[in-house]
Structure 1
């Protein structure tokens, strides 16, 4: 804590009456004094028999140099990450493809409402210590567990893995992870992945990602490249509604008749 030095001076006849106002002197002052004109004193009622009583109240505030306590940042994520890594008291196992993962029932339940319902509710998984997951890649599930325990994604998160994690995050209702993956995909759109990203955005309610894809496809060259990608046919078959919306947005407004004709193809 730092405090500045100060001086105050008050000229009085009695202890309750001040002739001059209180003045505070700080360290920045060039001199510590108070000028009083002779004429001012001679005309003052406080000057009696060439005598003047001066009262000075001086307060000195010293500088106090104390070491401030530095509170370290939270390391909870490190401890939970070590818990996952060391598998201490992990009595729950997941079989994902050929790989097996151990986890803690209470941690998963605390981080995901879906896991909570499955592991602590009346569902079959709640009474079993072994759960098999058939529709997710092992690497995606491993990254999902890593986020659940540490609240962070892998240091290197490519667009493909972001897509897998987005599906997993939506499945287990982990909103922050879903938003991270949506942002990652939306900021890295290219012609090869835009059809897949658009399909995922439609299926999992990612409105920001969907809009980013539409903006990318507003360019005729990007649209043409997307139509030559592997995900194009999947987009048409799996998301006919979003494909209709895409056609309505990319065709010029004056082509209304053409839009109507094209739309009938998917009725």
Structure 2
């Protein structure tokens, strides 16, 4: 099966107002008929707009090898609501092939009713809670910068981080001497959102990874490994490999070795 997307519509008569999307049977089925259910959907990367979902159940044959939706969505709607931050537009296609033999020679497309459920935005709400400082009950002071957070969220996400901050608390203010403010902000951003802050410096990425290990944030540790692999260059490959060997970062070690071998060719 192949997915064919027509950004300006399947035919010129449509005037380029709709995006068309079709599923095509790639191989010749001979006299057989292939029955499957398909679901095309797009979502707003920002989580503000509802999902667009279209479903159908079709029978593909040698004569009718293509099924889809001529007016999947409006071009203007896609550009204004469903374009990612990197300019990408993503259509997801889910397929279910029916293994039971088809006994009818007719082919029909039946649109199934779908209740549109918007994507979860709890991450954005937690991020706003952190940024707004609303209802914060703990203040961290690091490198003369104040960071306001919430004990409950920290305790739920990392007991080690909670214990470390609590042990340094004096009059509701936590003084942290062994960490840079950029690293603590990165840790807290992950605690609230499960996401890494954008980082382009290898040194900062390494310190973030060390902090993730310190507080046993395994998901953040894996993301930092991936970030260090992304930032890998000829200038820092050996030092990053030494870091991976010293702390037993197996995936990063393998990636560094592969990178070094390719760079030497």
TM-score interval for Structure 1 and Structure 2 normalised by the shorter chain: 0.5 to 0.7
Over residues 165-202 of structure 1, what are the superposed CA-to-partner deviations in whole Å (9 max), with x where a residue is unaligned?
11111111111111111112124322321233133323
- Alignment correspondent of 2:235: 192
**SS in structure 1 at match of 2:195:** coil
* Distance in structure 2 (CA, Å) of the matches to 1:96 and 1:144: 13
Over residues 216-267 of structure 1, what are the superposed CA-to-partner deviations in whole Å (9 max), with x where a residue is unaligned?
4457959xxxxxxxxxxxxxxxxxxxxxxxxxxxxxxxxxxxxxxxxxxxxx
* Distance in structure 2 (CA, Å) of the matches to 1:110 and 1:147: 13
* Distance in structure 2 (CA, Å) of the matches to 1:133 and 1:171: 14
* Distance in structure 2 (CA, Å) of the matches to 1:211 and 1:98: 39
* Distance in structure 2 (CA, Å) of the matches to 1:72 and 1:156: 30
C-alpha displacement of 1:125: 4.0
* Distance in structure 2 (CA, Å) of the matches to 1:133 and 1:114: 15
- Structure 1: any 5+ residue segments left out of the alignment? 5-24, 30-62, 223-267
Which of the numbers 250, 259, 263 marks the counterpart of 1:207?
250
Equivalent residues of 2:56, 2:112 under 8 A apart: no
In the superposition, the TM-score normalised over structure 2's length comes to 0.53
- Alignment correspondent of 1:28: 106
- Alignment correspondent of 2:163: 117
- In the alignment of these two chains, the number of paired residues is 168
Which of the numbers 179, 182, 205 marks the counterpart of 1:162?
205
Asked if 1:182 is matched to 2:260, the reply is no
In the superposition, the TM-score normalised over structure 1's length comes to 0.52
Larger RCO of the pair (alpha carbons < 8 Å, separation 6+) = 2
Equivalent residues of 1:118, 1:126 under 8 A apart: no
Which of the numbers 122, 133, 155 marks the counterpart of 1:76?
122
Over residues 15-39 of structure 1, what are the superposed CA-to-partner deviations in whole Å (9 max), with x where a residue is unaligned?
xxxxxxxxxx96929xxxxxxxxxx
Over residues 96-131 of structure 1, what are the superposed CA-to-partner deviations in whole Å (9 max), with x where a residue is unaligned?
112111111111111113124346xxx634786222
**Larger helix proportion of the pair:** 1
